[in-house]
Structures are given as structure tokens and as C-alpha cells.
Structure 1
Amino acid sequence: MTRIAIIGAGMAGLTAARHLLDAGAEVTVFDKSRGVGGRLATRRSDVGAFDHGAPLVQGDGAGFAEAMDGLASAERHGDGWRGLPGMSGLLKPWLAGAIHVPGCRIVRIEKRVLVDETDARHGPFDAVIVAVPAPQALDLTGQDALAQVVMDPVWTVLAAWDGAGAEDPDPVAPLDKILLQRGPGFRWIAHARAEWSRANLERTKADIAAELLTSLVRALGQVEAPIHLDAHRWRYARVARPLGAPFLDCGDGVLAGGDWALGPDAGHAFASGRAMAREIASRTLSAADQVG
């Protein structure tokens, strides 16, 4: 059976995984995180869950809406979809049938053998898909074309109160977006503006949480101290300048792609993942291998 490795368990990686699994390949998904979804992230806490990454997924490319509507773990929300019970659950069904290797940071690719940070070796594989943010893909593949991709960072503050604040708050600088979380209680996520996040990228979480809390309190009209406060840095949060092609052929059976290949939406990541899967399938899967 054809063996495919995928580095990254976000939208692009899991889209590719699902298509290749359905085509009859053996697929192994490696990810440095313990969960799946990448920026489709949910953080649990004593006061409830926070969808502290992308609050929903959007896109209008071919097949994207059908794929989202086909997920039992997705619900329509406005002009997009949310994961159930949180954003991190959205894509879990697409892992079914794959070999999942969580908590494994791949640091090198040597002739389709993956080497992790403990120097353990995985493979060889018939093909490799690199579906991580462009700067990380550059480190793994050495492809200079990836240096032209620009991804914006975002600092996010997570806060909760015992009582309600403003129902529909307007962001106060440097905040860009404020979102009330699903479920009971008064849990809020606020994303800082990209330019502010870049200027403050290397500050500590504690300092960032305290500063962004000041703006969030002003927006919400809260007078009490929060019962929960944290911050998270998304170093590669959103695509500002894409590659301009569905994927990059790195040679020797290695492809690299993600939302950064085409644009900022989840639909762009889906399109990249599907394009990589089709390319790999056309090269490596014989007619006898393929199913469906």
C-alpha cells in the first residue's frame, strides 16, 4: 500500500489526509500539538472552553461548503461553520483511518524520511505533504519561494467574569475583534490588531494579558476583576501575502501547502490540501490501489 506522510493537522493537512485515505492510501499525520485543527483551537479551563483561534471557518471555493455540511462535527453559523463542541472538534472525523502521531515535532526531511526533535526517524514514505505555516515549511524544505509569503501574528486575550458586560462591544485599540464564547457564563476572546501584535510579539504572556485586559475592560464596561485571564500568541495567524499557487513542489515527492498558498480563509486551506492530495494520488496511487 502507498504510504503518505502529512506534517500538520490543520485544515490543509487533514483535507489532504481525508482525500488520500478515501483514495486507498495509508496516511500518517504528524503534528507538534496534542490535538488537531491547528488554528481551529479550543482551550479548556476551570471556567469553561475558549475558542481562542479561528472563531469559525469560511470559504466559497469548489467543494468547501459541501465538505463542511458533510461533517457531523460542524454547525452553520452566519456565513461560516463552527466546530462541535468547540472549534478543535471540527476536523476530527477526517482523521478516521489515519495513523495519528501527536506531540511530534518534525525537524528534518531526508529522502522522504521524517526526523523528529528526538532524532527518531519515521519512514520512508512514498510522498510527504508539509502543511504547516510557510516559515516553518521553509525551515523544513529549504525552498526560497516560501520566503515571499507573509503571515501576520495575533496576540489573543482570554478572559471571564461572573457577570455580564456589554452585549455587543466595539473593540478598543489595540483590539481588533471581541467575541463572546458559546455556552453559559461570560467568557470572552479578544484578538489584537496584527500590527500591534507584531510590535509586541516577544513580550511575555503575563504582560500582554494585562495590557489587553485594560482595553477589553473598557470595551465591555466591566468594573470587577476577571475570574480568569490568559493570553495566547499566534505567531502565524493569518495570511497577508499568499504564494499564489495551490502548493509548492519541493522535489523528491515532497509538496508544501496550506492557507498561505492561496489566501487567508479556511476555504483556501481546503483547496490547497485537496490539490496536494490529487497531485500525490496521480503520482503514487495505481488504479488498483484507488477506491471510491
Structure 2
Amino acid sequence: MGVRLCVVGAGVAGAGIAYALRAADVDVTVLEKSRGVGGRAATRRRNGRRYDHGANYLKSTDPRTADLLDAIGPEGLVDVTDPVWLFGADGDVRPGDDRDEHKWSFETGITRLAKRLFARTDATVRKTTRVESATRTTDGWTLQDTDGAEHGPFDAVCYTPPAPQTAELLAETTIATDIAEDVDGEDLEAFRDAVASVPYRTIRTLVLGYDERIERPYYALLNDDREHPVGWLAREECKDGHVPDDESLLIVQMSPAWSSEHYDDPLADAAAVAADHAADLLDSERVRDPDWVDDQGWRYALPDDGIDPTAARTAEPLGLFVAGDWVAGDGRVHAALWDGIETGERIATWGGGR
């Protein structure tokens, strides 16, 4: 019998793991706390509109990505060709230079990436299942969820949530003494500390909808000095299939400092602030008065650093793997994707199965 693997988290890293193992002798079960897949590469639908309110696109930074998109099916793929411009603390907008990079989403939204990866596999994905703890004995790994159900046994487990959540899970991970002898206890403790120390940015996204088109010569604006209350502002209408032709939809991601301070502010108050800043950046009074608003908070949105790659593999002899953008050290969709795929490839050759 092949390896029994449990992946905690159905984000892009988890999808990459499953995809890498699609032809391997590995039985993959994915436990996901939410009702969907994709993690922060998330898409919301509202009244005929689609919008990517977390990660906005998949970049072509890794040269392997274009071939992967062809392999999983390019149907409905959207290449956002309008450029990203820049602004600083003073709010002055200026051209940027991202001409050599592709920015991909899908007509149905960026969440389609994870859905399409999983669709190419035989993985079992169990949604609305929040893992609370894990135990490793001679029989393998058993995971407990918050509803009291047990899952397992598995030969290996891979944690893919953001580092702070993975650190919480590691604190509730028990390894039998006779099993733990395979890895030095101090190394395991250092591993847990290294995961817990990865710094993260909090981001609150405000979505502003307008019943008329607001044209600009760019797709998005990026604050490049981290000194403005807005970190990112994107025009979702630049993505085919997302917004009706006569409408505009702005994705306004507030800075980490603002987001942390105002994370729980009422939607109306937060949206009014975002709309005022967006109006100033776009030089449009119309933008101050959106026709509808939405929001999403991301407590652990982006890692500001990553765990040492060697430290990340400390517990792999015990069948305990980690993967994600925080392992790659780059808070980008492509980084999470390829770290997941590379982790899956290691699991395929891992010698700890039965």
C-alpha cells in the first residue's frame, strides 16, 4: 500500500501538493476549514460580478508557471495586460515598470487555479473541517478537528496554513517518545520557534462598486514606500468576465498599519475611508460615493520573511511537512504554488511510508 498523506489546508500550496502527487502512489486527503479552496487566492461573486479580493493574480515570475497553466487547461485564462503604476506617501501617481511580467487570473476568478489543480487529482477534499491537534504514534498520524472527529491514521501530514496558524497547530502536535527519537528534541523545538517567528502583515480589503466605468491608463496602483494608508488599489474591470462593461469595481487593500488599527471598524466607516483615499489617488470625485461596498479581512495576509529552508524540513523524517508562501519566503501566489509542488515531489520519494 502506498503512502497515506493528510494535507491541512486547501489553499494554493495544498493544491500544488495534491497536483504533484497525482501520478504517485500516495493517497491524499485534504482537510480545509472553510467552504472553498484557494485560501487567500479567493474570488467572490455578487450580482453578476466576480472579484479577486485577496491575491489579485498569478505572476509569471517563475518560468515554469506558463507551462503549468497550459497543462491544467488555459480555458478562461485572463492575462491582465494593463500596467501597474506606483505611488508614494504623498499620493502622487507615476508609471511603473512591469512590462515583462504576466498577471494571470481566470474569467471565473483566481480561485479557479486551485479548483483546476485539484480537479486533475484523485485527492479527497473535506471542507468545513478545522484541524485542532495531531498525534503521531507507531500507527501513524491521527488528526482531531474542532467538532471532535478524528481523521487517520496517515503516514505523513503536511501543514500549509499561514505560519502563525501552523505554529498554533504545532503547539498541539504530540509525537510519541519512541517516534520522536528519530529527530533531536532541541531541533524540533527550534523548528516550532522558527515557524512561530515568521512575521506577517494584516490586510483589510475594501471593495468599492460603481455603476459607471472609471477609465485609467493602468490596472492597479502600488504603494512602494509603505507610507500611505492604501497599499494596493486595483481596477477589477481590467479582467475579462469580472465586471459588466459599463461598471467599475475597485479592490482597495489598506496598509498593514491601517488594517491592524481598523480591522474591526464597521464596513460603512472603513469603506468611506477607502473611497476617500481612492478618490484622491484616482483624481475622481465620483469615486468618493460608491454604489455598493464589500470587505474581507486577512489577519495573516502576507509573510514579511520566510523560515530557513533547512529548518522547514526538520520534522520530515517523522512524516511532518510544511509548505506555503512563508516557507518560500515570498508572499506571492506563484511562491505558494511552487513550494507546494516541490514539497509534493519530496513526499513522492519520501521513504517513511508503510
Q: Deviations over 1:57-91 (max 9, x none)?
A: 12534633322332325444442321342111122
Specify the alignment match of 2:279 in structure 1.
217
Contact 1:44/1:50 (CA < 8 Å) preserved in 2?
Answer: yes
Residue 123 (structure 2) aligns with: 98
TM-score, L = length of structure 2: 0.74
**Corresponding position of 1:180:** 235
Q: CA RMSD in A?
A: 2.5
| Structure-2 residue corresponding to 1:49 | 50
Contact kept, 8 Å, 2:155 with 2:352, in 1: the verdict is no
- For residue 284 of structure 1, report the CA deviation from its aligned partner: 4.6
Answer whether contact 2:16 2:337 (CA < 8 A) is retained: yes
Please say if 1:147 is aligned against 2:196: yes
1:87-236 maps to which residues of 2 (within 5 A)? 87-96=110-119, 97-111=122-136, 112-142=141-171, 143-168=192-217, 173-181=228-236, 182=239, 183-184=243-244, 185-220=247-282, 221-223=284-286, 225-236=289-300
**Counterpart of 1:261?**
327
Q: Do 1:153 and 1:194's aligned partners in 2 also have CA atoms closer than 8 Å? A: yes
AA matched with 2:145: D
Match of 1:250 in 2: 315
The runs of 5 or more residues in structure 1 that have no matched partner are: none
1:250-283 CA-partner distances (Å, limit 9, x unpaired): 3531111200012222232123212321222222
Contact 1:141 1:250 in 2 (8 A): no
CA distance in 2, matches of 1:267, 1:212: 28
- Structure 1 length as normaliser, TM-score? 0.88
- Equivalent residue, structure 1, for 2:97: none
Mapped partners of 2:281, 2:61: distance in 1: 32
CA distance in 1, matches of 2:23, 2:352: 12
Aligned to 2:176: none
Partner SS for 1:124: strand
Shift of 1:151: 1.5
Instruction: State the partner residue of 1:280.
Output: 347
Local SS of the residue matching 1:35 = coil
Contact 2:25–2:348 (CA<8 Å) still a contact in 1? Answer: no
Q: Does residue 60 of the first structure (1) align with residue 109 of the second (2)?
A: no
- For residues 204 and 114 of structure 1, do their structure 2 counterparts lie closer, same or farther at Cα, with a shift above 3 Å needed? farther
Cα pair 2:55 2:333 within 8 Å, conserved:
no
Instruction: Indicate if the aligned counterparts of 1:128 and 1:255 stay in contact, CA closer than 8 A.
Output: yes
Cα distance change, pair 60–164 in 1 and its aligned pair in 2 (3 A): closer
Deviation at 1:16, TM superposition (A): 0.6
Q: For the structure 1 residues 152 and 124, does the alpha-carbon distance in structure 2 shift closer, same or farther, using more than 3 Å as the test? A: same
Alpha-carbon distance between aligned partners in 1 of 2:222 and 2:321, rounded to the nearest angstrom: 40
Q: Shift of the alpha carbon at 1:199? A: 3.1
1:5-24 matches, cutoff 5 A: 5-24=6-25
CA distance in 2, matches of 1:190, 1:93: 27
TM-aligned CA distance change 1:283 to 1:232, over 3 Å: same
- Matched letter for residue 100 of structure 1: V
| Percent of paired sites with the same residue | 29
4+ long deviations beyond 6 Å: none
Moved more, 165-174 or 22-31: 165-174
Question: Aligned residues, how many?
Answer: 287
Cα offset, 1:147, TM superposition? 1.9
Q: Which residue of 1 aligns with 2:108?
A: 85
Residues 84-93 or 60-69, more deviating: 60-69
In structure 2, runs of 5+ residues without a counterpart are 82-101, 172-191
